[in-house]
Amino acid sequence: MARLRIGLTGGIASGKSTVADLLAECGAVIIDSDLLAREVVEPGTDGLAGIVSRFGDQVIAGGRLDRAALGRIVFADPQARHDLEAIIHPAVRRRAAELEAAAGPDAVVVQMIPLLVETGQQNAFDAVIVVDVPERVQRDRLIARNGLSGQEADARIAAQATREQRLAAATVVIDNSTDLADLEQRVRQVYRELTGEPGC
Ligand SMILES: CC(C)(COP(=O)(O)OP(=O)(O)OC[C@H]1O[C@@H](n2cnc3c(N)ncnc32)[C@H](O)[C@@H]1O)[C@@H](O)C(=O)NCCC(=O)NCCS
Ligand SMILES: Nc1ncnc2c1ncn2[C@@H]1O[C@H](COP(=O)(O)OP(=O)(O)OP(=O)(O)O)[C@@H](O)[C@H]1O
């Protein structure tokens, strides 16, 4: 079991990956659920076979998962999203547990889980960090990063817990509404407070 187990969450495009990169620089071991959710649907996996049997060949391009095509389907249809999650989440959780066990007894482990609140994992960690931005900032960054329409961005935001629900689950809130230099200072301070290590 790791020395300190931290859950990291936040709404889509709130800045979780950016915060995770900064925590890694401080020495944390990062377990990224989005990355694992990609690994478990690589060609040849049971995950990809399950997706093809549920959604058909329309979500395959060049032998791989067409993520944009699947995204258009599942963010417009809650039942489809639920079915996809039922295929992917168990495999992601197994892999995350393996990686955490491999991290060793002294590690500070950060599990980055976009759907931490939605999947009821708020009490599964020593601390839960929520990366927080106002919805307007979140929406603008999502549109800029993913090239989505306003309507598509709204659908993705609506597929997640509300800002208030996430804040209610937080033991630590990191505000990411200003610039990256501010964010870096905040993340370093949170790391020092949570670990008691002066170094970061
Ligand atoms: C629908 C998919 C193919 C779209 O892929 P795409 O490359 O466009 O997005 P990516 O995987 O990088 O996810 C980006 C963000 O979307 C949000 N998101 C992803 N899946 C979901 C979901 N099921 N419900 C709500 N939000 C989601 C998260 O904030 C995530 O960080 C993909 O997101 C997916 O397979 N989702 C189901 C698995 C899942 O629940 N992943 C989230 C954490 S395990
Ligand atoms: N403080 C900031 N100022 C300006 N842009 C930022 C800031 N923080 C993050 N960004 C940008 O906003 C976008 C979203 O950030 P990031 O990818 O870290 O979010 P995320 O929460 O990991 O997203 P997802 O939920 O989709 O995985 C990125 O393009 C990132 O470069």
Closest ligand 2 atom, CA of 114?
25
Residue 91 Cβ < 6 Å to ligand 1: no
CB of 45 within 6 A of ligand 2: the answer is no
Query: Domain spans of the chain?
Result: 1-28+107-200, 36-106
pTM above 0.80, yes or no: yes
Q: What pLDDT sits at residue 10?
A: 98
Residues placed in the known binding site for ATP: 13-18
77-94 burial string, b = 16+ CB within 10 Å, else e? eeeebebbbebbbebbee
Task: List, in sequence order, the alpha helices (H) in 13-134.
Answer: 16-26, 33-39, 46-55, 67-74, 78-102
Listed residue (4, 36, 25, 29) closest to 172, CA to CA: 4
How far, in Å, is the centroid of ligand 1 from the Cα of 185?
A: 28
- What class has domain 1-28+107-200? alpha beta
| Contact predicate 46/163, CB 8 Å | no
Question: How large is the ipTM?
Answer: 0.95
Task: Examine domains 1-28+107-200 and 36-106 and report if their fold is the same.
Answer: yes
> Closest Cα partner for 80 from 46, 57, 51, 58?
51
* Most informative mutation of 129, 142, 145 for ligand 2 (most atoms within 8 A of CB): 145
Q: Identify the CATH assignment for 36-106 out of 3.30.420.40, 3.30.470.20, 3.40.50.300, 3.40.30.10.
A: 3.40.50.300
Nearest alpha carbon, ligand 1 atom 15: 12
Instruction: Say yes or no: CB of residue 71 within 6 Å of ligand 2.
Output: no
Confidence of residue 77 (pLDDT cuts 50, 70, 90): very high
How confident is residue 117, by pLDDT bands cut at 50, 70 and 90?
A: very high
Half-sphere exposure of 124 (CA within 13 A, CB side): 16
Instruction: Could you list the residues known to form a binding site, using ranges.
Output: 13-18
Residue whose C-alpha is closest to residue 168's, from 123, 138, 114: 123
Residue 99 CA, chain-centre distance (Å), reads: 16
